[in-house]
Structure 1
Amino acid sequence: MSNLRTEQPVFETDRITDGFDIFFWVFNDASSFVATHWHTAIEIMYIIDGEVDVMMNQQTVILKPGDVFLIDSRLPHSTKSVHGNHAVLIQLPYEFSKKYIPDVDSFIFGFDCHTDNAILRTKIDSLIDVIQKMRIVYEIQPKGALLRFNSLLFEMLYLLYHSFSREVESSQFKKDVKNFVRLEPVLEYTKKHYNTPITLSEISQIACFQEEYFCHYFKKNMGVTYFQYLNEIRLSHIYRDLTSTDLPLKVLLEKHGFTNYKLFRKMFYEQFATTPGEYRKNAAVSD
């Protein structure tokens, strides 16, 4: 149950915790900003302490202690935790879900984590109870830990299937998969070259689209424009380096390819309600 891979690439391949069939991680996050990304796994986040903002479908959901949130497979999203959090992160790999729910492609999974509906609230509480028990087994590792953990895992899968799924046309799923497959070369190229100048002509050629159609296609499927996406990635790297290095801000911008300083300051303030200098200063004081 060790050696967890915590890096979050733009397109995440399904991750698995050592010894398990899923990815399960209890973590303390001092502060983070993860740019728009997606994965084929179903992701569940349970907040123990602190606060996490999830940006998805052009909306922001603020998660606080006791909240649980589900992000369906292939759903672009970004996360932010300015003041840090303590949370449980679970990812159910696509192949795992497909094995035990053969028609998983016919369902959309999700729920309103802040619902006032009493019936749905009871179901969500049941899911939280399972997560809390999984955490105890994961951390304490009693005799027969793997057996107990897996029994809870299948209880979770049962809850997702019966309480938090909605049937859709399989043709729509196939269309969505096709769209994301067509964007994979773009995401991979951007991941590798984000710190260099990337033109619309260049990235459109990678996608094998005309420029105008590429702009429309990317925004429709990712929820942001390509250059918003590119600058989010650059911003996430700079945000991390502001506290992990002593490099001047100008050097960080050059290192991560952000050439427009005014745009950077505007994006930084919109995301974190402070300036880069103030953020770095406050982070140093808290340490």
Structure 2
Amino acid sequence: MALSQTQLAPLPAILIEPLVRAALLEDLGRAGDITTDSIVPSDQRATTVLAARQTGTIAGLDLAALAFRLIDPAIEFHREKRDGDPVAPGDVVARISGPARGILTGERVALNFLSRLSGIASATSALAEAIRHERATIVCTRKTTPGLRAVEKYAVRAGGGGNHRFGLDDAVLIKDNHIAMAGGVAIAIERAKAGVGHLVKIEVEVDTLEQLAEALPLGVDAVLLDNMSLDQLREAVAMVGGRALTEASGRVTPASAPAIAATGVDLISVGWLTHSAPILDIGLDFAD
């Protein structure tokens, strides 16, 4: 189920500003925007719009606005849409007016963030819509662009999904390699329970129903049912019987998601949402 606008809390400015500053510094290089500065008079003003070229869901407006503001505080950024809003081709997302040099200099960084995050939100929204009649929630993973995890996971929330772990320190996820190195499911779980605090949740990844049967009596909080068939997922959900959250992963697409959700799992995790979702095409146009 998609988040309402009141539930989608904006990211703190102190979190996003270093990302936008770094992107601007990368673009400005050692001499600034030599193209714009040599062509556009310093006193010229412009009125422009950010317009959608595709159907999708918007995310990243705070980063886009900040890109322009850091270049020139005199630039005015007026939103016509909010993060989480759907858009169709031609829809105006925001109106930008002010010094023309600053608008052109900040354009690419603003669009890079806005298009990237809106692409993630759009892909998430498509999956969430595909399973809207089921109880399951689409969640992302740690397969994120280095340095951009917080904003990419925010974009998933804007698209109506939820977040898995943000890092290695906020929950235990016992995966196949942990199990292999520990020597089995049970010993891995027992070591994890002995090694972390009582407030830390523990999830274990299982590939087979036999592994699931071994894990359940040990009181884990969630089980990740990795690359199981639909029949296996249904049986796994019945075995769990509400004693832990059930999470399905592997080969999830808008076409396959409804059948996966119909097995009764609580969560469907999708790595490609943040590592390879296509951008949403958004452009900056001069207003008529």
Range of TM-score over shorter length: under 0.3
Structure with greater helix share of residues = 1
TM-score, with structure 2 as normaliser: 0.22
Task: Give the TM-score, by structure 1 length.
Answer: 0.22
Considering only CA atoms, is the larger Rg found in Structure 1 or Structure 2?
Answer: 2
Higher relative contact order (CA 8 A, sep 6+): 2
